[in-house]
C-alpha cells in the first residue's frame, strides 16, 4: 500500500549460459538489471553484442518495411474507439506460437513482398515516364511519314516543329520571301501549332524560317510512324496497368499475413532488449555477474525459477543500503490502484517519500465528482470506460486510466444524486441545487480544498515523524496548522457563533505565528545566526497567503460544475421548446438532447479531468510531495503490436 520494498540482487553464472539466464529473466519480467558503474565498464565495447544488435536492427527494419508496405496497399481502418486507443492485434497463445514456428514461411513471404513492391515501384515509375513520352508524341499522332524519311532528300528538307501564333502570318512570311514550300498542320497543343514543313534547301529559306519563329522539334521514336510507336507505347501501358493491378491485389492478399510479421517484429524487438541487457553484465573469464533489483515479495519466485533451470549459478539478495537509490514501484489496494496512473503522470515518489496514491484517490474522486457534477454524465462515463475495459485490449497504464475514469464517473453519480442533477434535469429535491444556489457549491468546493490541503500538511508531518524528524513535524507542520486554524477561527468566528471566544483565537494565532518564527531559527548555530534567521520566519507567515490562495483555487470546481449544469439545463430548455412542435417535435427533441448532452459531457469530462488533476499536482502535492523517483523498469517481454488474449482476461 505504498512504495514496494525492493531487494538488491546479485546473480553469477557461467558466461556460456548467460543468454539462457537473460531470456528466462525476461520471460519472468520481475528483475530490473542495474547498469554497470563507470569503473566496471569494459575498456572496449563488445564487438559481438554490437554485431548481434546490428543484425537484429536489420530484421526489425525489414519487417517494419514489410508492415509499411502492407499499410500502403491494405491500410488498416481504425474504428472510432481505435482512433483514440490505437490498433492492436490480439492473438491467443497458440496462434502466437504457431506464427513463431513459421519463421521460414515468414522469410519467404518477406522476400516475396519486397520483390513485389520493388516491381510495383519500378512499373509505376516506368508508367509515369511513358505517360510523359506519350504526351510529347501526341501532337505528331497524324504524321504518316515514317522516321526514315525525316532526313529529307537532296533538295528538299523535311522539318518537324511548331510555331506560336497564326498559320497565316507564318505562310505570309514565307510567301513574301517567295520560297517554295508545302506544309501540313496537325493542330494546336499547349498554344503551339504543330506542323510538318517541306522546304527547298537554301540559305534564304533557312533565314526566312529563323525569322518566322519556327521551332524544330523532332519526335523521339526509334522507327516507323509516330502513330505506330504510340500504339506500342499504349499497349505497353495497358499491360503495365494490368500487372500493377495484379501486384496490388497480390500485396493486398499478402497483407492478411500482417499478424505473422507483427509477431516477428515483437519477437525481434524483445530479442533486442535481451541482447542490450548483455551490456549490463560484468564479464570475467568464464563467469558473468549481474546486479539488479527485484520486488522483495518476488525474490523467492525468482530464486525458484532460476533453480528450475538446472544450470549452475549463485544468487544473493540483500536489503538496499540507506543511501542507495532504488527504483520505485507502487502497490495499492484494488480501489486505489487505478489512481497510480495519476501519480505516475506527475512523477514517482522518491524512496524517502510516501506513495501519495491513497491520499489522492478519494480527493480526486470528490473533485472530479464535483466538477462533472451530473449523475447522468457520470454514469455514462463509467459505463463507457467499463465497456472499453471489457472489449478492448490495453496496456497496463491504459487499464489503470480506464479504471480511474470508471471510479471518477461514479464520483459524479454520487455528487449528481446529492444535488439532484441527471442530464441537467432535477427530478427531485436534492440537498441543494447547483444552478440555483452556486454559493453553497462554492463553499463546499473551498471546504474540500481546505480539508485536502490540511491532509497534505499532516502527511508532510507524518513523513517527518517517520523519518525521525519529530522536531520538524512539530515546529514546521504542527504550528503551521495551528496558525492556519487560528486565522480561520479568527476570521470565521462570527459566522459560526463563537464570537465570544474570538479574543482567544486571535491570541492563539499570534502565539503560533511567534512559534513559527522562532522555529525558523532552529538549526542555526550561535546567537547572531539565530537573530538573523528571525526575519526569514516572517516569510513562513507570509506563506499563509499562498496557502489560502491554493484553497481559493478549488473554486474552479464550482465553476466547472456550474457551467456544466447551466449548459445542461439550457440544452433541456431547447429540447422542451421543440418538443411542443406537433408531429416531428419529438424527433428534433431527441436529436438536440443526444447531440447537446454528448457535446456538453465531452467538454465537461475533459475539463473535470484537467482541473481535478491540476488540483492534485499543484495544490495538493505542493504541501508534501516533490517526486523524482525512478520507476521500476524490469527486463520483460514488451508488447508492441501483439497482445495475447489471456492478458485481456486478467
Partner 1 sequence: MELGSLYAYLGVSIAVLFSGFGSAYGVSLPGKMAAGVVTEDPKKFGQTLILTALPGTQGIYGFVIGMLMSFKFSSITGPIPLEVGLRFLAAGLPVGIVGLVSAILQGRVAAAGIGIVAKRPEESSKGIIYAGLVETYAILAFIISFFLYNAITV
Footprint of partner 1 (CB under 8 A): 78, 83-87, 345, 438, 442, 553, 555-556, 558-560, 562-563, 566-567, 570, 602-603, 606-607, 609-611, 613-614, 617-618
Q: What number of H helices and E strands is found in the chain?
A: 23, 13
Do the Cβ atoms of 506 and 493 come closer than 8 Å? no
> For residues 28 and 567, which CB has a smaller minimum distance to partner 1 in the complex?
567
Nearer to partner 1, 332 or 553 (CB): 553
CB of 316 to partner 1, least distance (A): 35
Q: Of the two residues 188 and 570, which places its CB atom closer to partner 1 in the complex?
A: 570
Closest CA to 207 of 234, 176, 183: 176
Task: Give the residue with the Cβ less far from partner 1, 78 or 335.
Answer: 78
DSSP class of residue 74 equals: S
Query: In sequence order, which residues have a C-beta less than 8 Å from that of residue 330 and are 6 or more positions away?
Result: 2, 3, 4, 340, 343, 344, 348, 349, 355, 357
Decide: helix, strand or coil at residue 295: strand
For 593, list phi and psi in degrees, rounded to 5. -60, -50
Q: Which residues pair with 348 in a beta bridge?
A: 629
Nearer to partner 1, 5 or 607 (CB): 607
Residue 400 Cβ vs partner 1, minimum distance, rounded to whole Å: 12
Whose CA is closest to 234, among 381, 323, 134, 306?
134
CB-count burial class (<10 Å; 0-12, 13-18, 19+) for 563: middle
| Shortest distance (Å) from residue 302 CB to partner 1 | 28
Q: Minimum distance from CB of 332 to partner 1 (Å)?
A: 19
Q: Which is nearer to partner 1, 110 or 556 (CB)?
A: 556
Q: Nearest distance from residue 51's CB to partner 1, in Å?
A: 31
Beta-carbon contacts of residue 454 (< 8 Å; ≥ 6 apart): 481, 484
Integer CA distances (angstroms), 338 to 331, 361, 401, in order = 10, 8, 6
CB of 610 to partner 1, least distance (A): 4
Residue 191 dihedral angles phi and psi, to the nearest 5°: 70, 10
Q: Which residues pair with 195 in a beta bridge?
A: 161, 185
Q: How far is the CB of 556 from partner 1 (least distance, A)?
A: 5
DSSP letter for 269, please: H
Q: Toward partner 1, which CB reaches closer, 498 or 606?
A: 606
C-alpha distances (whole Å) from 165 to each of 135, 146, 153, 187, 189 are 21, 27, 29, 12, 12
Judged by CB, which is closer to partner 1: 218, or 573?
573
Between 266 and 472, name the residue whose CB sits nearer to partner 1: 266
The three three-digit cell numbers of residue 257, written as one number: 499475413
Alpha carbon 625 to its chain centroid, in Å, reads 26
In the complex, the smallest distance separating the C-beta of residue 401 from partner 1, rounded to whole angstroms, is: 9
Shortest CB 621 distance to partner 1, Å? 12
To partner 1, the closest distance from the beta carbon of 113 in angstroms equals: 22
- Choose between 29 and 345: whose C-beta lies nearer to partner 1: 345
Whole-number minimum distance, CB 561 to partner 1, in Å? 11
Nearest-angstrom CA–CA distance, 57 and 588: 58
Distance of closest approach, residue 638 Cβ to partner 1, in angstroms: 13
| Min dist. Cβ of residue 337 to partner 1 (A) | 18
- How far apart are alpha carbons 520 and 533 in whole angstroms? 7
Between 503 and 606, name the residue whose CB sits nearer to partner 1: 606
6-14 vs 313-318, strand pairing mode:
antiparallel
Question: Is the Cβ of residue 410 or residue 442 nearer to partner 1 in the bound state?
Answer: 442
Return the C-alpha cell found at 447. Answer: 471546504
C-alpha to C-alpha distance for 468 and 103, rounded to whole angstroms: 60
CB of 545 to partner 1, least distance (A): 16
CB burial readout 19-41, b (16+ within 10 A) else e? eebbbbbbebebbbbbebeeeee
Q: Which is nearer to partner 1, 65 or 530 (CB)?
A: 65
**C-alpha cell of 273?**
532488449
Shortest CB 563 distance to partner 1, Å: 5
Tell the smallest beta-carbon distance from residue 439 to partner 1 (Å).
8
Q: List the end-to-end C-alpha distance of the chain, in Å, as a whole number.
A: 21
The contacts found for 246-250 with CB under 8 angstroms, 24 or more apart, are: 247/116, 247/119, 247/120, 247/123, 248/73, 248/120, 250/116
Closer to partner 1 by CB, 395 or 469: give it. Answer: 395
33: helix, strand or coil = strand
Toward partner 1, which CB reaches closer, 14 or 566? 566
Lookup: cell for 335: 480501489
Q: CA 199: distance to chain centroid?
A: 73
Determine the Cα–Cα distance for residues 81 and 398; give it in Å rounded to an integer. Answer: 13
Would you say 278 or 600 has its CB closer to partner 1? 600
Amino acid at each position: 500500500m505504498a512504495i514496494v520494498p525492493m531487494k538488491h540482487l546479485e546473480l553469477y553464472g557461467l558466461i556460456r549460459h548467460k543468454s539462457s539466464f537473460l531470456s528466462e529473466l525476461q520471460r519472468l519480467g520481475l528483475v530490473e538489471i542495474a547498469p554497470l558503474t563507470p569503473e566496471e565498464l569494459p575498456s572496449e565495447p563488445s564487438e559481438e553484442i554490437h554485431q548481434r544488435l546490428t543484425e537484429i536492427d536489420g530484421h526489425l527494419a525489414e519487417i517494419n518495411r514489410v508492415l509499411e508496405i502492407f499499410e500502403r496497399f491494405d491500410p488498416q481502418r481504425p474504428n472510432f474507439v481505435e482512433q483514440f486507443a490505437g490498433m492492436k492485434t490480439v492473438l491467443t497463445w497458440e496462434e502466437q506460437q504457431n506464427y513463431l514456428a513459421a519463421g521460414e514461411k515468414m522469410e519467404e513471404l518477406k522476400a516475396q513482398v519486397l520483390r513485389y513492391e520493388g516491381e510495383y515501384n519500378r512499373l509505376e515509375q516506368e508508367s509515369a515516364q511513358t505517360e510523359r513520352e506519350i504526351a510529347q508524341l501526341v501532337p505528331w499522332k497524324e504524321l504518316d511519314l515514317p522516321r526514315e524519311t525525316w532526313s529529307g532528300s537532296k533538295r528538299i528538307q523535311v522539318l518537324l516543329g511548331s510555331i506560336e501564333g497564326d498559320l497565316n502570318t507564318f505562310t505570309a512570311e514565307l510567301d513574301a520571301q517567295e520560297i517554295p514550300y508545302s506544309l501540313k498542320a496537325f493542330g494546336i497543343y499547349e498554344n503551339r501549332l504543330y506542323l510538318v514543313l517541306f522546304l527547298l534547301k537554301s540559305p534564304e529559306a533557312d533565314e526566312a524560317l529563323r525569322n518566322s519563329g519556327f521551332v524544330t522539334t523532332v519526335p523521339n521514336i526509334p522507327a516507323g510512324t509516330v502513330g505506330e510507336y504510340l500504339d506500342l507505347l499504349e499497349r505497353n501501358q495497358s499491360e503495365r496497368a494490368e500487372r500493377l493491378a495484379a501486384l496490388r491485389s497480390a500485396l493486398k492478399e499478402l497483407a492478411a499475413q500482417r499478424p505473422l510479421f507483427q509477431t516477428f517484429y515483437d519477437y525481434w524487438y524483445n530479442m533486442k532488449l535481451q541482447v542490450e541487457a548483455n551490456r549490463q553484465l560484468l564479464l570475467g573469464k568464464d563467469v558473468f555477474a549481474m546486479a539488479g533489483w527485484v520486488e522483495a515479495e518476488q525474490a523467492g519466485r525468482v530464486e525458484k525459477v532460476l533453480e528450475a533451470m538446472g544450470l549452475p549459478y549463485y544468487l544473493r539478495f540483500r536489503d538496499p543500503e540507506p543511501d542507495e537509490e532504488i527504483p520505485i514501484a507502487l502497490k495499492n489496494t484494488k480501489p486505489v490502484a487505478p489512481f497510480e496512473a495519476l501519480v505516475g503522470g506527475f512523477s514517482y515518489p522518491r524512496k524517502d517519500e510516501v506513495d501519495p496514491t491513497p491520499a489522492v484517490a478519494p480527493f480526486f474522486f470528490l473533485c472530479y465528482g464535483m466538477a462533472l457534477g451530473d449523475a447522468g454524465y457520470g454514469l455514462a462515463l463509467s459505463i463507457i470506460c467499463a465497456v472499453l475495459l471489457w472489449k478492448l485490449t490495453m496496456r497496463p497504464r491504459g487499464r489503470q486510466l480506464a479504471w480511474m475514469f470508471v471510479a471518477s464517473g461514479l464520483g459524479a453519480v454520487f455528487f449528481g444524486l446529492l444535488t439532484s442533477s441527471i442530464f441537467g434535469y432535477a427530478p427531485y429535491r436534492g440537498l441543494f441545487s447547483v444552478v440555483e444556489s452556486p454559493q453553497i457549491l462554492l463553499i463546499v468546493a473551498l471546504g474540500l480544498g481546505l480539508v485536502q490541503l490540511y491532509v497534505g500538511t499532516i502527511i508532510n508531518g507524518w513523513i517527518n515523524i517517520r523519518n525521525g524528524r519529530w522536531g520538524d513535524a512539530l515546529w514546521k507542520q504542527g504550528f503551521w496548522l495551528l496558525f492556519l486554524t487560528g486565522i480561520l477561527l479568527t476570521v470565521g468566528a462570527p459566522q459560526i457563533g463563537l464570537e465570544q471566544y474570538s479574543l482567544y483565537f486571535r491570541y492563539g494565532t499570534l502565539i503560533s505565528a511567534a512559534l513559527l518564527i522562532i522555529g525558523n531559527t532552529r538549526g542555526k548555530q550561535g546567537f547572531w545566526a539565530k537573530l538573523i534567521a528571525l526575519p526569514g520566519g516572517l516569510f513562513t507567515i507570509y506563506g499563509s497567503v499562498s496557502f489560502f490562495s491554493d484553497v481559493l483555487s478549488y473554486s474552479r470546481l464550482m465553476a466547472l460544475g456550474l457551467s456544466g449544469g447551466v449548459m445542461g439545463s439550457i440544452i433541456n430548455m431547447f429540447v422542451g421548446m421543440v418538443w411542443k412542435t406537433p408531429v416531428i417535435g419529438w424527433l428534433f427533441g431527441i436529436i438536440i438532447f443526444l447531440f447537446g448532452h454528448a457535446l456538453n459531457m465531452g467538454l465537461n469530462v475533459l475539463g473535470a479531468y484537467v482541473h481535478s488533476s491540476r488540483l492534485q499536482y499543484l495544490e495538493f502535492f505542493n504541501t508534501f510531495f516533490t517526486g523524482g523517483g525512478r520507476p521500476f523498469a524490469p527486463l520483460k517481454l514488451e508488447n508492441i503490436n501483439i497482445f495475447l488474449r489471456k492478458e485481456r482476461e486478467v
